[in-house]
Amino acid sequence: MPKTKSKSQTQKKNGFFAQNRVVKLFVIFLVIVSLCLTFVLQQSLFKDYPVQGKKQKLSINTGETYSRFIDQLAADHKVKFPTVLKIYRKFFIQDTLKAGIYEVKAGMSVRQVLDMIANAENAQMNRILVIEGTTAKQLLLALHKDPLVDKKLGQQPAEIIKALNIPYNHLEGLFAPDTYFFDKGMTDQQILTDLYQRQMKILDAAWEKRDANLPYKNKYEALIMASIIEKETSVEKELRQVSGVFVRRLKLGMRLQTDPTVIYGMGDAYKGNITRQALRTPTAYNTYTINGLPPTPIALPSKKAIEAAMHPDNSDAVYFVATGNGGHKFSRSLEEHNRAVQAYRAVIAEKNKES
């Protein structure tokens, strides 16, 4: 008679097959995970950074973050799985994005680009953004903080004026707003000299073509006016209208009564709101208490604002107020202006109620 297998032998055999199945399932699981991980990495970290041609410039702005940079790559469909890139940055890149112009060569992976832009030494050029309506003080501070700028100038305005051979006693308004690309390591003196010369060239050209009978004694006063126009409106089509209001006020002997000049005169004391006391407090820049223009520009005006100062509109408006919905309402009489002010307050009240 054939021998029958014992119960224990059967259990051992079944256990062995069960263990084999677990091992096989585990191996299959690892293979699937590995394939998925490989796919994810190939579509994110190890994906070729998209380049047109053999190489391409990559511009990183001052203040830009890795998170925004990665999100933009994903939004432009240049990479998938942005979370993987953020995890890599968190654990393997111990620094922030460095502003500058970088050269990305064909074949470089996204990981290599992320590593490259963490080191300012890798930058080929320095991108400097000077925004219209900002101040000379803000520009000087940005240059001082920029690791790609070689610092040669002191921090005192008088020292800078002397070093740049500027014939004015104040730096405000003298540098042209624009986006610039300078060689890495260029000095602050070279950069400011270039921006100053550009602004003077723009001012000279506009002054030569100015309208007749403008109330400016010289081109510097026109620059002052341009800076006020720049601060009063961000709507391009309103530049000449705002210019017209202020030019007519000067001709009529009316005070300009413009808030941006008050704010500039307050300096660091300005905390976001202008009080009635501030409007009544005399300063060299308070156009509610002084006649005519303030002594210097109050910001860095753009070319368009300078040209608007030279070519005001021909309407009869001598007042304007914000509409609350973007832009301004221009008025010929105080009565009409007061109605516009009431309409503005109603719009603001309604918006506050909704929020």
Per 3-state DSSP, what percentage of the chain is helix, strand, and coil (rounded to 5)?
Answer: 50, 10, 40
Which of 236, 245, 230, 218 lies closest to 313, judged by CA? 245
Token pair of 320 as six digits:
């304007």
DSSP letter for each residue of 150-194: BP-S-SSHHHHHHHTT-SSS--TT-S--EEEEEETT-BHHHHHHH
Token pair of 24 as six digits:
């096989």
Helix axis angle for 219-232 and 259-266, nearest 10°, is 100
Instruction: Find the mean pLDDT for residues 98-127.
Output: 88
Token pair of 243 as six digits:
């210019």
pLDDT tens digits for range 251-297: 999 999 999 999 999 998 888 888 889 999 999 999 999 999 999 99
> Is 327 exposed, middle or buried (CB count within 10 Å of its CB: 0-12, 13-18, 19+)?
middle
Res 10: pLDDT: 58
CA distance 301 to 304: 8
Which of 40, 64, 71, 55 lies closest to 118, judged by CA? 64
State yes or no: pLDDT of 4 exceeds 60.
no
Q: What are phi and psi of 320, to 5 degrees?
A: -160, 155
- State percent of the chain over pLDDT 70: 94
pLDDT tens digits for range 200-240: 999 999 999 999 999 999 999 999 999 999 999 989 999 99
State yes or no: pLDDT of 300 exceeds 90.
yes
DSSP letter for each residue of 5-45: PPHHHHHHHHHHHHHHHHHHHHHHHHHHHHHHHHHHHHTTT
Instruction: Find the mean pLDDT for residues 291-315.
Output: 97
- 8 Å CB contact between 175 and 136: yes
> Any idea how long the chain is?
355
Res 219: pLDDT: 97
- 8 Å CB contact between 203 and 327: no
Res 40: pLDDT: 72
CA distance 227 to 221: 10
CA distance 49 to 46: 9
